[in-house]
Amino acid sequence: MNLVRSIISVFLIALLGISIAGWIWAGGQPTPKMQGSRVVLAICGFASTGCLLLLWSAKPGRPSQQHPSPADGT
């Protein structure tokens, strides 16, 4: 299972890196496109970070102590 978490983590880290690179790249775009791009890239970056932290918050055999629900928003 750690393998599964590790593989998914690689993708989440890559997504975070891409979001940062995209944020920088979008700075060179025309203003309306830049704003739209940066908003969604920021969401991608924060969401990937939060998911990464959650993914590694649990230990085998121990129930998770965090109980976020979809209503809390991601």
* Residues ≥6 apart with Cβ < 8 Å to 52: 9, 12, 13, 16
Nearest approach, Cβ of 17 to another protein (angstroms)? Answer: 9
Identify which of 49, 66, 50, 68 has the alpha carbon closest to the alpha carbon of residue 58.
Answer: 66
Question: Does position 74 bind another protein by CB under 8 A?
Answer: yes
* Residue list 6-45, contact with another protein (CB under 8 A): 7-8, 11-12, 14-15, 18, 21-22, 24-26, 29, 33, 36-37, 39-41, 43-44
Amino acid occupying residue 35: Q
Question: Does position 53 bind another protein by CB under 8 A?
Answer: no
